[in-house]
Chains A and B, each alone.
Chain A
Amino acid sequence: MTINLFYIILIIITCIAVPIYAQSEKPVNSCLACHAELDDALGKPAKLIKDDVHQEMGVSCANCHGGDPASDDPEIAMSPQNGFLGAPDPLKIPQFCGRCHNDPSYMRNYNPALPTDQLDKYWTSHHGQLNKKGDIKAAECVSCHSVHDIKRANDPRSTVYFANVPATCSHCHADSAYMAGYHIPINQHTEFAESVHGIAVLQKKDSGAPACNDCHGNHAAMPPGVASIGRVCFQCHPAEAELFLASVHKDAYENLGVAECVFCHNNHKILPPQDEWFDIKNAGAICLKCHSEGDGGYNGALAMHNAVDSLQRKYDEAHSFLQTAEERGVEVSEEEFQLIEVRNSLVNIRKLLHSFNPDTVKTVSAAAFAQADSVHKAGIAALDEVKNRRTGLFIFTIITIIAVTALVLKIRAKEETSNK
């Protein structure tokens, strides 16, 4: 009888104690607990949030949407009295996110290195200006960063990871139905993907190459003005840009309203530059768009192209000659080393073209040409060594003839005596 009572009391204590104990261990977030049970659109955020950087930092549903996550009762948890805001007005999302992200002293508690100027920049961007006018289609924070599963920009899964940026922008900008009415092209991504930058970013995952935001800005996105293109490209291509900005073309292009670097190199579809572009004798040359036969620019282009072309040919000739010599067994490593200087010059010259100064180009080209020529001659001299072989053969043949003759005479002599 006492033992049965003991067991009953034990069970009662357990039934009370365990739930209390379990309850005290669980973090209080009723939002997730309830919304995770839902299958529709209301349940989706709860499922996504486990990957979210805010959730990781302990900034959860109520920090953005307000309300009381401690309460199980939806009436209390989601009551406006408790600060519940619900889903924000799509047009007001920048301000919604800006409550924290535009507050440096708040952000300092989480990531002091993160900038807090995004909102101010956004208002200067084209997206921001459209948003102010009430255009709900214009991009705001969520359009690019996603929502509820936001990841750090250096996370390869993030929508704003550098290699994913082109796809993120194209989500709207390549959609002809979505972009109808805005009167801007929708082929940027197609063109970009074919370009050297696109291949570097999308295929080689080279973070040194630019994605959309590097040239256009991200929060302050706006295409650079015609006169500032040179300086934007300058950020990565200082050598060429410096030469260009000091050249005659800078002012000429500005007066004509021509988009500096883009005029020859294109903006999105930037392909490896070809010597044919300034081969002014060729009908497809870019220079012919402004210059015609006889004018200063035409003659300048002609001089530059001749300089580069003749040097390239000389280099190719010397290089293939050395390769043949090496395959024949002639030692030419010293000559190959000297040819490296010529190769460097070729790269350098194509950069110097941006000065649009034929004299500079011709000077460098002439020096390199002389070097390639001397390498070629040295290779020929090395191959002459082979001539010595023929002399050796000649001598050996003579000796062999003498030896065979002597042998034949010896045989004859022996056989004469043995016959006698």
Chain B
Amino acid sequence: MNTIMNWLRERVQIDELLHFMQKKEVPVHKAFLWYYFGGITLFLFVVQVVTGMLLLLYYKPGADTAFESVQFLITKVKFGWLIRSLHSWSANLMVFSAFVHLFSNFFEKTYRNPREMTWISGMVMFLLALGFGFSGYLLPWNELAFFATKVGTDIAGVIPVVGKPALLFLRGGEEVTGATLNRFFGFHVSILPLIFLLFLGIHLILIQVQGMSAPLHLEGKITRRMRFFPNFALRDVAIWLVVLNILVLLSVFLPWELGVKADPYAPAPAGIRPEWYFVFMFQTLKFLPAQILFLEGELVGIGGFTLAGVILVLWPFFDRKSSKGEKQKLVPVIGTIAIVFILVMTILGYTIG
């Protein structure tokens, strides 16, 4: 180990880098556990990348070959079923973990000065993660995914002015076809990953440079701080191993089903819905009346969610009070309402639909 370090020392400023890394500290307090969720999300993303790369070795994009290649993968390739199920489960757990990470940071108001950019880069990654989920879901080219994609892109098409071009851009044509699959594959394995990595880099560097934040109400009251490297990092790794075990457990007992191949000419089966993390939006749109004042109901829904998304991304600039260190009662209220709304709508989406 020492020889390697000496070799490096002669060439790059390795000591300065190590010293810099050792500066990062984690404040210790009651809400300490929430700190793990950023790392869990990161770990799950790494699992996605690794399993994704492995899947790429056997997956064949294209309406004639995609389904069959996944079928081949899970039946004939050794541990193919495992890699595929890991990928599907990890995707879902990652989105869930991202939700938790998002809300915990929201409630703790960590987005306040000087961490606005961290929040924004994180929000961008969240939206990209949803894009990963939406594009990846179609890739096995099975019946459920085909119709879920059709419904999802139909909704995009409702937006005025940009809706139709957006629909054509997403679908690669008027309808969901092999061209759509082609595009989604490109988004999923190259375009989104590269953009995501950019924002991930920004996010991680900012945290490294600025250190982990403490909840607003505890600022100034932090008595103990833990070194990130190696103390917190080792704890992170332990948690990650448990998460990995959970993933394998899920893959063995609840393997991801393949279903039947997509048939564009068949009628849609009953109960089509998107992935669970979109269900709350889907159900909300279903509840809205066809017409609200002079606008189409669906449009109001989409507009509402878009507005909410934009406000959420730019939230640091809306909540000036927190940046000044003042109490902001609006945050827990909005946060709680949002969580309850999402939960209720998701449950309704599964029970009514």
| A interface, CB within 8 angstroms of B | 326-331, 389-390, 392-393, 396-397, 400, 403-404, 407-408, 410-411, 414-415
User: Which 6 interchain pairs have the tightest Cβ spacing?
Assistant: A331-B75, A329-B74, A393-B252, A400-B245, A407-B238, A329-B81
Q: Given contacts A327-B258, A328-B255, is CB(A414)–CB(B241) below 8 Å?
A: no
Of residues 229 through 262 on chain B, the ones whose CB sits less than 8 Å from some CB of chain A are 230-231, 234-235, 237-238, 241-242, 244-245, 248-249, 252, 255, 257-260
Residues A415 and B231 in contact, CB atoms below 8 Å apart: yes
**With contacts A404-B238, A407-B238 known, is A396 near B248, CB below 8 A?**
yes
Whether the Cβ atoms of B252 and A404 lie closer than 8 Å is no
Please indicate the chain A residues that have their CB under 8 angstroms from the CB of B235 in the complex: 411
Contact A400 B244 (CB under 8 A): yes
Say what secondary structure dominates the interface of chain B. helix
A414 surroundings in chain B (CB, below 8 A): 230-231, 234
Q: Is B257's CB under 8 angstroms from A327's CB?
A: yes
CA distance A326 to B70 in the complex (A): 12
Of all chain A residues, the one with the shortest Cβ separation from B260 is A327
- Check A407–B241 contact: CB distance below 8 A: yes
Q: 24 A-B contacts, Cβ less than 8 Å apart?
A: A326-B71, A327-B257, A327-B258, A328-B255, A328-B257, A329-B74, A329-B75, A329-B81, A329-B258, A331-B75, A331-B76, A392-B252, A393-B248, A396-B245, A396-B248, A397-B248, A397-B249, A400-B242, A400-B245, A407-B238, A410-B234, A411-B231, A411-B234, A414-B234
Report whether B245 and A397 are in contact in the complex, using a CB–CB cutoff of 8 Å. Answer: yes
Closest to A397 in B: B245
Interface size on B, residues (CB 8 A): 24
Chain A residues contacting B230 (CB-CB under 8 Å) are: 414
Alpha-carbon gap, A414 to B232, bound state (A): 12
Residue pair B255, A407 in contact (C-beta under 8 Å): no
Partner of A389, one of B252, B258, B259: B252
Residues of A within 8 A of B74 (CB): 329
A400 and B249 alpha carbons, distance in the complex (Å): 12
B252 touches A390 (CB 8 A): yes
**What are the residues of chain B within 8 A of A411 when measuring CB–CB?**
231, 234-235, 238
A331 nearest CB neighbor, chain B only: B75
| Inter-subunit contact B258/A404 (CB<8 Å) | no
Report the Cα distance A22→B55, complex, angstroms: 83
Which residue in A329, A331, A410, A415 is a CB contact (below 8 Å) of B255?
A: A329
A250 to B216, CA, bound (A): 98
Q: Report which B residues bind A (CB closer than 8 A).
A: 71, 74-76, 81-82, 230-231, 234-235, 237-238, 241-242, 244-245, 248-249, 252, 255, 257-260
- Bound-state CA distance A415–B232 (Å) is 11
Tell me the bound Cα distance from A410 to B255 in angstroms: 34
The dominant DSSP class at the A interface is helix
A403 touches B241 (CB 8 A): yes
Output the nearest chain A residue to B239 by Cβ-Cβ distance: A404
Q: Is the CB of B244 within 8 A of A327?
A: no
Report the bound CA distance from A411 to B230 in whole Å: 9
Q: How far is the CB of B105 from chain A (nearest CB, A)?
A: 25
How far apart sit A55 and B71, CA to CA, in the bound complex (Å)?
64
- Which residues of B have CB within 8 Å of A331? 75-76
Contacts of A329 in B (CB 8 A): 74-75, 81, 255, 258
Given A327-B257, A329-B255, residue A407 in contact with residue B248 (CB < 8 A): no
Shortest Cβ gap from B6 to chain A (Å) = 24
- Give the CA-CA distance A330 to B234 in the complex, in Å: 39
A403–B238 CA distance with the chains assembled, in angstroms: 8
What A residues does B81 contact at CB under 8 A?
329, 389
Among A327, A328, A390, A400, contact of B241 (Cβ-Cβ < 8 Å): A400
In the assembled complex, the CB of A407 is this many whole angstroms from the nearest CB of chain B, namely: 4
In the bound complex, residues from chain B placing their C-beta under 8 Å from that of A392 are 252
Cα A414 to Cα B75 with chains together (Å): 46
- Contact present for B257 and A407 (CB under 8 Å): no
Query: Out of B238, B241, B249, B258, which one reaches A393, CB within 8 Å?
Result: B249
In the assembled complex, the Cα of A404 lies from the Cα of B258 at a distance in Å of 33
- Chain B hits for A327, CB < 8 A: 257-260
Q: A393 vs B82: C-alpha distance in the bound complex, in angstroms?
A: 11
Q: Hey, which chain A residues are within 8 Å of B241, CB to CB?
A: 400, 403-404, 407
Interchain CA distance A389-B242 in the complex, whole Å: 18
B101 to chain A, nearest CB (A): 22
Closest to B257 in A: A327
By beta carbon, the residue of chain B nearest A405 is B238
Shortest Cβ gap from B23 to chain A (Å): 16
Chain B residues, CB < 8 A from A404: 238, 241-242
A204 to B351, CA, bound (A): 44
How far apart are the CA atoms of A332 and B129 in the complex, in Å?
36
Known pairs A393-B249, A407-B241, A408-B238 / 8 extra A-B pairs, C-beta < 8 Å: A327-B257, A329-B75, A389-B82, A404-B242, A407-B237, A411-B231, A411-B238, A415-B231
Q: Which residues of chain A are near B76, meaning CB under 8 Å?
A: 331
How far is A271 from B79 in the complex, measured between Cα atoms in Å? Answer: 50
Residue of B75, B237, B255 contacting most chain A CB atoms (<10 Å): B75
> A415 CA to B235 CA in the complex, in Å?
12
Least CB separation from A388: chain B residue: B252
Chain A residues near B248 (CB-CB < 8 A) = 393, 396-397
* B14 to A: closest C-beta gap in Å: 21
Q: How far is the CA of A390 from the CA of B250 in the complex (A)?
A: 11
- The distance in angstroms between the C-alpha atoms of A408 and B234, with both chains bound, is 8
- B75: chain A residues within 8 A (beta carbon): 326, 329-331
Chain B hits for A393, CB < 8 A: 248-249, 252
Smallest beta-carbon distance A403→chain B, Å: 6
B352 to A: closest C-beta gap in Å: 26
Determine how close the nearest CB of chain B comes to the CB of A100; give it in whole angstroms: 53
Min distance, Cβ A185 to any Cβ of chain B, angstroms: 40
State the CA gap A58–B18 with chains docked (Å).
106
**How far, in whole Å, are A349 and B234 apart by their CA atoms in the complex?**
69
CB proximity of A192 to chain B, nearest CB, Å: 31
Q: Residue of B at shortest CB range from A330?
A: B75
